[in-house]
Amino acid sequence: MTDATTGTATTAAPEGTRHVVATLAELPPGSRRIVEIDGRSIGVLNVDGRLHALMNRCPHHGAPLCEGVVKGTMQDSAPHEYSYGRHNEFVVCPWHGYEFRLDTGRPLVDMGRLRVRVYEVRAEGDDVVLYV
């Protein structure tokens, strides 16, 4: 499983402008914050201690994606069988239920070339820092 929290082994400075969006105490696991940067709405989510940042806009119809539920998904299975897995790897669009990977922004089902833009986000000291 990909751990999207960066800053652990990265030495190179991330690209983009540095924005402190919250303190770590303000963004505990299970919480999220929607921020506006340069006219763009971006969701910053703390999922089980992993930080994720995605464009707060579903590529399908423009819904506020980052207000959706974070959860796992039903994995491939034989007809009439269910197998839940990949817990909390996805954010589910609040409008039509499309599932997007938190770490890459890729939809679980093929949507052509559509995907959600993801941003670099990391903990630096006590701060949650977003690079746009």
Partner 1 sequence: MTTIDTTTTDPTTTSGAPRGASDRSDLKRNGVIDSDVHPNFVNGIRDLMPYMTETWRTRLGISGADWAKGMAAAQFTLPLDYLYINPAGAYREDAARPGMPPATDPEFVAKQLLDPHRIYRSVLLSGQCLGIGAMPDGMVAATIASAYNEWMCERWLQVDERFRGAIVVAPQDPEAAVAEIDRMADRDGVVAVFPLGQILMGEKHYWPIYEACARHELPIVTHPSGTENVFAKAPQMAGTPTFYLEWHTALGQIHQSNTLSMICHGVFEKFPNLTHVIAEGGFLWALEVMWKLDRDWKGLRNEVPWLTKPPSEYLLGNVRFTTQPFIEPHDPRHLAPLMEMLHADRVLMYSSDYPHWDFDNPDRALQGLSPELRRAIQVDTPRAVYGDRLD
Residue 93 interacts with partner 1 (CB under 8 A)? yes
Q: Is 97 helix (H, G, I), strand (E, B) or coil?
A: coil
Residue 10 interacts with partner 1 (CB under 8 A)? no
Residue range at the interface with partner 1 (CB under 8 A); choices 3-11, 32-40, 104-112, 121-129? 104-112
Question: Chain centroid to CA 122: how far?
Answer: 12
Q: Which of 122, 131, 64 is nearest to 91 (CA)?
A: 64
Task: Annotate 28-48 with DSSP letters as a single string.
Answer: -TT-EEEEEETTEEEEEEEET
Site string for partner 1, 42-81 (x = CB under 8 A): ------------------x------------xxxxxxxxx
Task: Annotate 46-66 with DSSP letters as a single string.
Answer: EETTEEEEEESS-TTT---GG
Residue 112 interacts with partner 1 (CB under 8 A)? no
Binding residue count for partner 1, defined by CB under 8 A: 22
Q: Which is nearer to partner 1, 20 or 74 (CB)?
A: 74
Give the residues lining the site for partner 1 (CB under 8 A): 60, 73-83, 93, 96-99, 107-111
